[in-house]
Amino acid sequence: MIKANDPTRRSWVEVPSGSDFPIQNLPFGVFRTKSNPSPRLCTAIGESVVDLAVLNYMDLLDDLEIDHEVFNNRYLNDLMALGKAKVRELRDRLAEILDAVNDEAKQLSWHFLHPMEKVELLMPVQVGDYTDFYSSLEHATNIGKMLRPDNPLLPNWKHIPVGYHGRASSIVASGTPFVRPQGQMLPPGAEQPIFGPTKLLDFELEMAFVVGKANPMGKPIRIENAENHIFGLMLFNDWSARDIQGWEYQPLGPFLAKNFASTVSPWVVTLDALEPFRVAGPAQDPKPFPYLQFEGEKSFDIDLEVEIESESGAKATVSRSNFKYMYWNMAQQLAHHTVNGCNMNIGDLCGSGTISGLTTDSYGSMMELTWRGSQPIKLSDGSERKFINDGDTVTLRGWCERNGIRIGFGEAVGKVLPALTD
């Protein structure tokens, strides 16, 4: 058993009921404060941030065989590079420090504990490359019905985890606003494209996994070893401009419709912390090729929700879904990504693809929820949304919960600003 996951453990730090960050979670992030603007590594517990650089300075992490300079880094990449065994030791040690029986640490807490509301949480990972998958059977079928009613699912879909290479530079941390993208679109019934701001701005409810162990070029990651290369998960909103996408995606797939902004949560939750929430995924038929076959449970029971809030404060929770619905799991995605010898690097990010379930309220995009705008959603003030308006804020939330233990991811929040048309 992983010591930090002990469900009986309690902390001297107050953890409100329903918190995403009990002592059994201990995710990793990067933060700074007004009094000390230098970025450094942290973890979360309750409504507080724990400064790992200060814990190290106070010699509370001395018993770990870790290069302690990693705690002063701008990103988590070097910490991930230490390997899962070292990071597991660190989480176990943090759990001991924050345990209710550790009165000495409690007395020293004013040195390393910060209210989360008073710190700035930064982009936690330096992303070198980014791949987005298309792995929800329900999502792929729904989109296919709109484009190809007689043949919604393309013949390759149940044989390979379909994906595309995206743009890493426009992945931003939660709370970062972005401007409405512009591009070419072909209006319904038109023969020539037009140029302007997208009219069909959409969110995509996704999770993303972070690569924590590289593989050499030419050496695929075998599926039984795939999770050894995955450090943890984040919430991921793959913003999309559907009208731009519709005009450009043939013949080479997404381009400007997808590379203007993607929003991630500021916390990376380790696979160790998610271990108690493993579940079996959907049955796969036809049987995948041997390199995609696996034993055991490779999916995770992660509840997800999406909220839209207007500038006036009107809001609505528009989707409630779950990560376990994904047809292709992370191990299969990574095994397929590298089967041709593709080399993954520490910090690379892989999006799950839009997560949609069987019911209409579990769809993971406005494209599906409003069926391309034909069935608008109402906010709390009665206003309607077919897609996302300027000034709207979209918030993704995710958590696992079992036997009184809740492991959450925080929030991935993004606000849409008007297009820059000058």
Catalytic residues: 139
Dihedral of CA 231/255/147/196: which sign? positive
Structural contact between residues 197 and 184, judged by C-beta atoms closer than 8 angstroms: no
Per the DSSP assignment, residues forming a β-bridge with 64 are none
End-to-end Cα separation, the chain, in angstroms: 59
Please, how many CA atoms are within 13 Å of residue 65, restricted to the half-sphere of its CB? 3
Structural contact between residues 201 and 175, judged by C-beta atoms closer than 8 angstroms: no
Which residue do the tokens 């420090």 mark?
A: 97
Q: What is the dihedral of CA 305, 310, 312, 316, to 10 degrees?
A: -30
Structural contact between residues 353 and 132, judged by C-beta atoms closer than 8 angstroms: yes
Tokens of 344: 């993954």
- Alpha-carbon distances of 318 from 239, 300, 377, rounded to whole Å: 16, 22, 8
Residue 336 parent element (H or E): helix 330-338
| One-letter amino acid for residue 337 of the chain | H
Please, how many CA atoms are within 13 Å of residue 96, restricted to the half-sphere of its CB? 13
Tokens of 334: 């990574």
144: how many CB neighbours lie within 10 A of its CB?
16
251 cis-preceded (ω within 30 degrees of 0): yes
Structural contact between residues 398 and 273, judged by C-beta atoms closer than 8 angstroms: no
Q: Nearest to residue 225, comparing CAs of 77, 351, 334, 78?
A: 334
At residue 228, φ and ψ (nearest 5 deg) are -70, -15
